[in-house]
Amino acid sequence: MEGGTLLVRLNRYLSMCGVASRRKADELILQGRVKVNGLVVKELGWRVDPHRDVVEVDGREVKPATYRYIILYKPCCYLTSLGGTKEGKRTIEELIKDISERVYPAGRLDYNAEGLLILTNDGELAHRIMHPRHKLPKTYLVWVSGIVKGETLDAMKRGAVLEDGPAKPDSVRLVKHMKDKSLIEIVFHEGRKHIVKRFVSSFGHKVIRLKRVAIGPVRLGKLKPGEWRDMTKEELKSLRQALGIKSFVRD
């Protein structure tokens, strides 16, 4: 910080502008293709003021992309993919046709699952949401066959060994018992394929319905299946903090 101004490394700034990844941005800088305020900069540690400095790549001024952050309630029986109908199945693309920006899902939900998806054109945030290193918890409501007993819940809390390795949820709790089924809440921070269904099945219970209600601090709220809304500033701030992302600061 200089004189109260928040600075950001040049390679990160170029990445934020959608020019290239940080690694590729370093190559552009070393090749002398980047100018700051009219001067060629070849120093990899150079920092810029995103609000004041003029940055050019190959003579063209670049600016941070306008990012969009969408919360979508994916209904059951929709593919988490873009590009129109696939194999006769509907995709979430038809639900977001009125979004002008090219956003894409930060993570997936199974075809038969429903609930919260975050869509964005912010590559850094999407990458961190999906990367297990950041341990962002995902909360699911799971309707299962049969009555889940107390000893089964205790065993679930201890975890299970699946065909692709151990799986231990962050938390498990019983929401309620019904006539011939149970509703439980499970939180996982990892996203292995079908992990919730496989985990529950390993305890002898079949998943009837699966709904993701939260990703980190962001909750599905009152959205109905097929509806979407823009993330609030407060939600985005909380999510970025949970992922260790800071805007326009030293890194």
Q: Are 163 and 237 in contact (CB under 8 A)?
A: no
Task: Report yes or no on 220 lying in a domain.
Answer: no
Q: What one-character DSSP code corresponds to residue 134? A: G
Task: Report yes or no on 1 lying in a domain.
Answer: no
> 19, 40, 61: which is the final residue of a domain?
61
Cα separation, 220 vs 68, whole angstroms: 17
* CATH, residue 87: 3.30.70.580
Same domain, 157 and 106: no
Same domain, 238 and 120: yes
Neighbours of 7 (CB within 10 A): 18
Cα separation, 106 vs 49, whole angstroms: 29
Same domain, 91 and 207: no
* CATH, residue 18: 3.10.290.10
Same domain, 231 and 124: yes
Active-site residues, by number, are 110
Using a 10 angstrom Cβ sphere, with 0-12 exposed, 13-18 middle and 19 or more buried, the burial of residue 144 is buried
Same domain, 150 and 208: yes
pLDDT of residue 5: 54
Task: Report yes or no on 3 lying in a domain.
Answer: no
pLDDT of residue 152: 96
Using a 10 angstrom Cβ sphere, with 0-12 exposed, 13-18 middle and 19 or more buried, the burial of residue 73 is buried
Same domain, 124 and 145: no
Same domain, 162 and 206: yes
Task: Report yes or no on 247 lying in a domain.
Answer: no
Helices (H) and strands (E) counted in the chain, each on its own, are 6, 17
* Those residues with Cβ within 8 angstroms of residue 154's Cβ, 6 or more apart along the chain or in another chain: none
Cα separation, 95 vs 92, whole angstroms: 5
Same domain, 111 and 148: no
Task: Report yes or no on 192 lying in a domain.
Answer: yes
pLDDT of residue 1: 44
Task: Report yes or no on 221 lying in a domain.
Answer: no
Task: Report yes or no on 185 lying in a domain.
Answer: yes
pLDDT of residue 86: 64
Token output for 247:
């805007």
Same domain, 124 and 170: no
pLDDT tens, position by position, for the chain (251 residues)?
A: 444 457 889 998 888 787 877 888 999 999 999 999 999 999 998 999 988 899 999 999 998 778 899 999 999 999 998 876 667 889 999 999 888 888 889 999 999 999 999 999 887 888 889 888 888 999 999 999 999 999 999 999 999 999 999 999 999 999 999 999 999 999 999 888 899 999 999 999 999 999 999 999 999 999 999 999 999 999 999 999 999 887 543 33
Token output for 11:
């390679």
Using a 10 angstrom Cβ sphere, with 0-12 exposed, 13-18 middle and 19 or more buried, the burial of residue 41 is middle
Same domain, 110 and 233: yes
Q: What one-character DSSP code corresponds to residue 80? A: S
pLDDT of residue 12: 85
Identify each DSSP E strand in 131-180 by its residue range.
138-145, 160-162, 165-167, 171-177
Q: Are 203 and 152 in contact (CB under 8 A)?
A: yes
Number of domains in the chain: 3
Same domain, 194 and 171: yes
Same domain, 145 and 202: yes
Angstrom CA distances, 131 to 41, 113, 127, 151, stand at 32, 21, 6, 32
pTM of the model: 0.77
* CATH, residue 195: 3.30.70.1560
State which residues form the domain around 114.
69-133+226-242
Identify each DSSP E strand in 75-133 by its residue range.
104-105, 114-120
Task: Report yes or no on 200 lying in a domain.
Answer: yes
